[in-house]
Structure 1
Amino acid sequence: MEEKHEDIFVDYEQVSYKQETELFFRNLPRYTQEYVVGLLPIATWIGRYNLTWLVRDLIAGITVGIVVVPQSMAYAKIAMLPPQYGLYTAFVGLCVYCLFATSKDISIGPTAVMSLLVGQTITRVTSESATITATEIAVTFSLLTGAIAMFIGLVRLGILVDFIPACSIAGFMTGSAITITIGQWPKLFGIKGINTQDSTYLIFGNFFKYLPNTKLDVAFGLTGLFFLYGIRYGCQFLSKRYPKYSTHLFFFGIMRNGILIIFATLISFLINIGKSSSPISILKDIPAGFQAMSVPRIDAEAISAVAPSLPSGIIILILEHCAIAKSFGRINNYAINPDQEIIAIGFTNIWASFFGAYPSTGSFSRSAIKARSGVKTPIAGIFSACVVVLALYALTPAFYYIPDATLSAVVIHAVADLVSGPSYIKRLASVSLWELFVFVVTVVVTFFTTVEYGIYASVALSIVILLFRIARPRFWALGRVPLAPAYNDDSNKSHQRYLYVPDSHPSLGKLVEPLPSGVLMCRIDESFTYPNSGYISDRIIAYCKDHTRRGGSVLKKGDRAWNDDANPVTEAAREQLPLLHALILDVASVNRLDSSGLQAVVDASAALNRFAGHHVELHFVNIVHPAIRRALIVAGFGTQPVPGGEGQEILPVVPVSKDGPQIQKQQEQKQQQQQQRIDNDEDLEVGTDDEKHDLGDDFKSASTATLSNPIPIPKDVYPFFHWSADDAVNAAVRSLALRPSA
């Protein structure tokens, strides 16, 4: 014999603001402790550090250090700074990050995109003012971006990063990589007289204009590029062919930058023997040690000089770092804390400004090398920093003869990986044409202006599209498809189940049948808030008017409202349509309902009541959040008709006049009574005439039910809220049978 289950009725306990406040202050000490401990994640794992981790970190750190030295000097040239400033920047980022890191793979230091922005900022400021130097601009920029990032992380505003989509990040990374690559062509060929801080299209045109002025540097530049790509693809090919040597080939391939610099410097030294001037462009003197350590210059002139570039600097600083950290976290199966990562780069850049460094953030290429090298903890950065210190104090004399063309080859080879290729564009076009549009606009704007304007364009366009999607959500008119087989309940009554899908569904649309006469259903695929409340309300009203006829007595022409455009011809053509009895709203995708949205539902209900000539039931299916349910109850949708009559204002924007109509006061009194009844749960009974349950008994039976067995679909204590679309339709059909005109 089958077990008979008792119906389960669902309600939510109302939690007062007083209770929430008391709970917050009761947990405040624990929250504070967790917050403080979270600021230094190293304290949670340093006690487990062991010799195995040390060996792996040492290998990874030295490997990254070999890469970071030539890259840092090359990136400093992009930033319009002497090469040693790239080493200063790399040292501080590698040392400090381990204290705050939640990612083991990230390598902080100079990056191509940030270096490009710093270089454009220095060019702009120095052309406008002769009293502030390039190094002062870079240091001030580092301090201010670090302070702002630190503040954002401390107050946990890292959520702002989520408002910028991946296509925007890919767009300005691709645009910046193209800009940097073309900007390095003149140095690669030894061509003088081209301003590499111009817009990219100008550099591109001038390069071919002055191409006949190519110097001996081109031999170092093109040979270097051929060597770098040859080693990379050669090692990849040999690794597949000889898997047992894959580790050796990997580390050999990683050292290709250092090997190239060593051989290029040696050849450069040999061709300069006995010459008073070099036939190629070389780095020349690089001072040993940390020569730029000082307190950063902070005054009104320096701040105003870099202020226009601060928004784009913050965006690059945070986005580039968090995007890389999340990427490696997904690949290596660990979670990162975006707010803590923002604190890490904020503190790093504040501290770096005292060493004369410019802004730094996470590097994709070096992080990938670090991950592939088997890094275990963020402490690997300290070993990379030791390599940088060694270069600063012991190798600066050897840096004298490094060819500029070779450094340009290193830069081009590094930034080429940042370009999103055809496969990415094809997949993006398949997913979203809007996102492809954002990507293309970002790349084009960056190419024809600067990386700063490219960032602003991508962010602004992404936000506009986001707001448009919120303001104009998808609205679906739903029909139903019968499901087979039907099932029997405990009373041996046959019940047909249905699948509710849009009428225009590409696969199931031809199988959709209409709902019972006088019953309509629609779905809203967005939160119901102030940007879209009017639009959704209009769509609901228009949908209902298109599928039902006007009810009540036919008004004469002189009695119609000024905005009523109906006429006898159109009304006669619609006589075969049913009267609207009930509208079912599927709100499963509605995660928030604010006061404007609630008022729009009330207005739509009033408009439909006037159109139908009687009260139109509004049923709600799949209310996912208690706050939405509570808001609907406040407006009276739990026990319809709505208290207070049609057209009431839930939260009036303009206070009601004290000398206004008496009906408004009656509405307020009824609404207060309804709210009091909700708060106190006074003898609320639900169900049909045949079956009513006291709320206390329902909860008692629900609490004693054995939920390990299958249960019937729960019922809400309010008869117009449902957990199943079938239940909502059946409730509407039952009430339709009770209408006098049915």
Structure 2
Amino acid sequence: MTNRSSAHAADIIIDYEEDSYRKQTQEFFHDLPHNIQQYIINLFPIASWIHRYNLQWLLRDLIAGATVGVVIVPQSMGYAKIAQLSPQYGLYTAFVGLCVYCLFATSKDISIGPTAVMSLLVGQTVTRITSVHDDITGPQIAVALSLLTGAIAMFIGLVRLGIVVDFIPAPAIAGFMTGSAITISIGQFPKLFGIKTVNTQDSSYLIFGNFFKHLPDTKLDVAFGLSALVWLYGVRFACQYLTKRYPKYSTTFFFISIMRNGVLVIFATLIAFLMNIGKSVSPISILKTVPPGFQAMGVPVVSTNLVSAVASSLPSGVVILILEHVAISKSFGRINDYTIDPNQEIIAIGFTNIWASFFGAYPSTGSFSRTAIKARSGVKTPIAGIFSAIIVLLALYALTPAFYFIPDATLAAVVIHAVADLVSGPSYIKRLAKISLWELFVFAAGVIITFFTTVEYGIYASVGLSIVILLVRIARPKFWSLGRIPLSSSTGTIQTSNEKSDPIEQQNYLYVPQNHPSLGKLVEDLPTGILMCRIDESFTYPNSSYIADRIIAYCKEHTRRANVVLSKGDRAWNDDANPVRDAARANLPRLHALIIDFASVNRLDSSGLQAIVDAQNSLNRYAGQHVEFHFSNILHPAIRKSLIVSGFANQPRAGFEDEHEANEKEILPIVPASRDGPIQRHQTNHTSTSTTGDDIEEAVETHYAQDNKEGKTFNSSDEESVTTAHSIYLPRDRYPFFHWSADEAVRTASRSIINRPEESSTVAVDHAEPQH
């Protein structure tokens, strides 16, 4: 920004110094050593807080870790069954995730381990592959998925591509998670009732139908399953009620509620043990042998045959791995007032799964239910996960004999109770419908497709639809034709020689869409021959042609064609002249200037720039004269620079042999223009005087000079402005077609219209223009 005193010492003239690529390169290499050092330090966030660790933190982490440990043991065994694996694989997955994550964590709350959605994906993948390949086992598939998805996630985090998470909206995540929760719950119904004649590997709708078909085959397991659900929900609702009734005991009721899973499994196991005394065959389905320790530990053996078999599940696995984890960590970060680093979290979850593959674990990620428990338990640091891991380790080495008699129906109840919280209820659907029907469609697609097919297809469908909708919104942005509403007069001051101040009034306007639902009836047109529009999106290659067409159609609808009579031979093949339509528009003014509000445009590429050029060329031919393009509220220096390069700073664009060639110049031609052949001349009437940038700049300088001579210090803007001790003049751009307010753009266009001989006798001077 530079100050120039051509009109007055206090005038602020806007300009920008170009930041050369050489300077940017020098700065990059100058900062490179520091950036590399900071990058390495950021890989281990634990180093930034471990030196502040104290006994009070230790106590709270111990309580939170033990609480989560009690919950994760039965959950992990139940989730392993969903993944079509033996129960111990769920414990392996829980142990490694809890241990390793704390080294890389930027979230204190999140709990890593087996989750319902990831277990469902692993289970569907195991079923699909083992049905085709007899030589591949379920544990091999699980280990391969853990290693490969972890490696891909870690790569994404290391190269800082975590931004891809932002392209997937929350309704898409909620959709496939809700669909997965419903699918898991339905898959647990046969186990809950002890029905073994239903194939739980079928699609959900088939399981649902076959469940009712074979309902007469219900066994004694139903007593364990239904009583378990009654216990789990009864304790939860009772504790919630008592917490509201007796708030001072809220912590006590919270821990009682959390213990309901462990108490249920202990008593159900005890009853099952008593029922099996003296019997060779159990009357109910039980868990049976769970090998102690880490029986599957070893270097992963991943063959090319195995990689090709699991390859189709890797994209959806990585999506679940990253999305579920980052979404949960961000949510609890907002709740508990700290910020997470998505890239670092992706590195953490990637390394955790790579390391877990050496223990025979399947992919793990953040769990919503256990994270909520951990946060409510008063956790202080990620080290709490180690205490949860100790509980899992104790279960693996000391409690496996007791796991033998755990009823399958009880584990099914634990799973159903856990995944039910993942279902987005009617209140969420109602709010989403009020906010966006398109997002509701994405949510519904994720739920329905997951329910009728697999979680993979549900993810692909919801994510794909979200991206398509995003691209459509970019390619078809909102285009607003603007009018104005007079505001209450703003007061400035006149500084006289005797230093007395007298108030003057300067009319300012509010510029709104002409079809605004509340203000539309108050909108009035701009001065004759001047139009204004606003684009609510970046002006780039997907939408450039659409926006140009909207600009041209809008201008033609509100102005008349030049009175030029062409013979049939001279008329262009694509001339859309219509005698009836032109006669209806005969009383409209010719287009003098178009003002484009760039306040919502944060990027302008070469295609967008060419589209503006094409629009101006088309309107020049339609109006039979040069149409000024003014730009207001250009907030990004790069956009301003692009407009300068293309010649919009001083119009008509110069640099070629004549005005016709200048107006037809391509900014970046795809195919170089041929040096042979005739120069095309346009059959338009250019007898009207075109206003150049120099003419406008001279008029603007004269306007400001007269204002300063009279002592006016008012400041034009879109809103009311009051002169204060710290007020400044409205900044002026160095170039006359760039403006810092819509009012100033309209006034500048109104001043230049009088230089057109044909229009000056009929045009009404904008009454907002100060009279001299």
Is the structural similarity TM-score above 0.5? yes
> Match for residue 625 of structure 1?
636
- The CA deviation at 1:297 is 1.2
* Counterpart code for 1:345: I
- The CA deviation at 1:366 is 0.3
2:454 is matched with which residue: 450, 456, 463? Answer: 450
C-alpha distance in structure 1 between counterparts of 2:725 and 2:329, whole Å: 42
The change in CA–CA distance for 1:91 and 1:538 in structure 2 (over 3 A counts) is same
> Match for residue 477 of structure 1?
481
Matches within 5 A, 1:342-741: 342-490=346-494, 493-643=504-654, 644=656, 645-659=662-676, 688-690=700-702, 709-741=726-758
Question: Can you list the C-alpha shifts for 1:209-243, whole angstroms capped at 9, x where unaligned?
Answer: 11100000000000000000000000010111111
C-alpha distance in structure 2 between counterparts of 1:136 and 1:687, whole Å: 79
Question: Can you list the C-alpha shifts for 1:550-602, whole angstroms capped at 9, x where unaligned?
Answer: 12423234432122232333222211100100000001111110000000000
> Match for residue 326 of structure 1?
330
Aligned length: 709
1:143 is matched with which residue: 136, 143, 147? Answer: 147
Q: Retained in 2: the 8 A contact 1:518–1:548?
A: yes
| TM-score, normalised via structure 1 length | 0.94
> Match for residue 206 of structure 1?
210
> Match for residue 239 of structure 1?
243
The change in CA–CA distance for 1:18 and 1:552 in structure 2 (over 3 A counts) is farther
- The CA deviation at 1:488 is 3.6
Question: Can you list the C-alpha shifts for 1:115-153, whole angstroms capped at 9, x where unaligned?
Answer: 000000000000010011100000001000000000000
C-alpha distance in structure 2 between counterparts of 1:116 and 1:570, whole Å: 63
- The CA deviation at 1:663 is 9.0
* Counterpart code for 2:700: T
* Counterpart code for 1:560: R
The change in CA–CA distance for 1:202 and 1:612 in structure 2 (over 3 A counts) is same
Question: Can you list the C-alpha shifts for 1:385-421, whole angstroms capped at 9, x where unaligned?
Answer: 0000000000000000000000000000000000000
C-alpha distance in structure 2 between counterparts of 1:5 and 1:85, whole Å: 78
C-alpha distance in structure 2 between counterparts of 1:691 and 1:545, whole Å: 31
Question: Can you list the C-alpha shifts for 1:618-667, whole angstroms capped at 9, x where unaligned?
Answer: 00011111111110000010111112421210001112334466799xxx
Question: Can you list the C-alpha shifts for 1:39-78, whole angstroms capped at 9, x where unaligned?
Answer: 0000111111111111110100000000000000000000
C-alpha distance in structure 2 between counterparts of 1:47 and 1:251, whole Å: 30
The change in CA–CA distance for 1:113 and 1:595 in structure 2 (over 3 A counts) is same
> Match for residue 311 of structure 2?
307
Question: Can you list the C-alpha shifts for 1:437-495, whole angstroms capped at 9, x where unaligned?
Answer: 11111111111111110000001111110100000000000000110134345376532
* Counterpart code for 2:274: L
* Counterpart code for 1:76: A
> Match for residue 131 of structure 1?
135
> Match for residue 679 of structure 1?
none
Q: Retained in 2: the 8 A contact 1:540–1:604?
A: yes
C-alpha distance in structure 2 between counterparts of 1:553 and 1:408, whole Å: 82
The change in CA–CA distance for 1:707 and 1:393 in structure 2 (over 3 A counts) is farther
The change in CA–CA distance for 1:379 and 1:729 in structure 2 (over 3 A counts) is same
| TM-score, normalised via structure 2 length | 0.90
C-alpha distance in structure 2 between counterparts of 1:500 and 1:611, whole Å: 26
Q: Retained in 1: the 8 A contact 2:699–2:752?
A: no
Question: Can you list the C-alpha shifts for 1:673-707, whole angstroms capped at 9, x where unaligned?
Answer: xxxxxxxxxxx9876252689xxxxxxxxxxxx99
Question: Can you list the C-alpha shifts for 1:75-134, whole angstroms capped at 9, x where unaligned?
Answer: 000000000000000000000000000000000000000000000000000001001110
C-alpha distance in structure 2 between counterparts of 1:477 and 1:555, whole Å: 31
* Counterpart code for 1:37: I
Q: Retained in 1: the 8 A contact 2:429–2:440?
A: yes
Q: 5+ unaligned residues in a row in structure 2: which ranges?
A: 1-7, 496-502, 657-661, 682-695, 706-722, 761-772
- The CA deviation at 1:714 is 1.1
C-alpha distance in structure 2 between counterparts of 1:647 and 1:439, whole Å: 47
Q: Retained in 2: the 8 A contact 1:522–1:585?
A: yes
Q: Retained in 2: the 8 A contact 1:591–1:625?
A: yes
C-alpha distance in structure 1 between counterparts of 2:678 and 2:60, whole Å: 80
Secondary structure of 2:602's counterpart equals: coil
> Match for residue 92 of structure 2?
88
> Match for residue 219 of structure 1?
223
* Counterpart code for 2:361: A
C-alpha RMSD of the superposition: 1.8
- The CA deviation at 1:13 is 1.1
* Counterpart code for 1:611: Y
- The CA deviation at 1:193 is 2.0
Secondary structure of 2:757's counterpart equals: coil
C-alpha distance in structure 2 between counterparts of 1:584 and 1:299, whole Å: 64
- The CA deviation at 1:498 is 0.3
* Counterpart code for 2:40: V
Greater CA drift, 466-475 or 241-250: 241-250
C-alpha distance in structure 2 between counterparts of 1:557 and 1:550, whole Å: 17
Moved over 6 A (4+): 684-687
C-alpha distance in structure 1 between counterparts of 2:32 and 2:699, whole Å: 43
Question: Can you list the C-alpha shifts for 1:311-364, whole angstroms capped at 9, x where unaligned?
Answer: 100000000000000100110010000000000000000000000000000000
C-alpha distance in structure 2 between counterparts of 1:377 and 1:105, whole Å: 8
Secondary structure of 1:413's counterpart equals: helix
C-alpha distance in structure 2 between counterparts of 1:308 and 1:293, whole Å: 26
C-alpha distance in structure 1 between counterparts of 2:386 and 2:415, whole Å: 24
C-alpha distance in structure 1 between counterparts of 2:325 and 2:34, whole Å: 30
Percentage of pairs with the same residue? 73
Q: Retained in 1: the 8 A contact 2:652–2:663?
A: no
Secondary structure of 1:281's counterpart equals: coil
Secondary structure of 2:124's counterpart equals: helix
Q: 5+ unaligned residues in a row in structure 1: which ranges?
A: 665-683, 694-705
Q: Retained in 2: the 8 A contact 1:686–1:719?
A: no
- The CA deviation at 1:5 is 7.9
C-alpha distance in structure 1 between counterparts of 2:173 and 2:367, whole Å: 14
2:105 is matched with which residue: 101, 113, 123? Answer: 101
* Counterpart code for 1:569: V
The change in CA–CA distance for 1:366 and 1:647 in structure 2 (over 3 A counts) is same
Q: Retained in 2: the 8 A contact 1:620–1:720?
A: yes
Q: Retained in 1: the 8 A contact 2:487–2:507?
A: yes
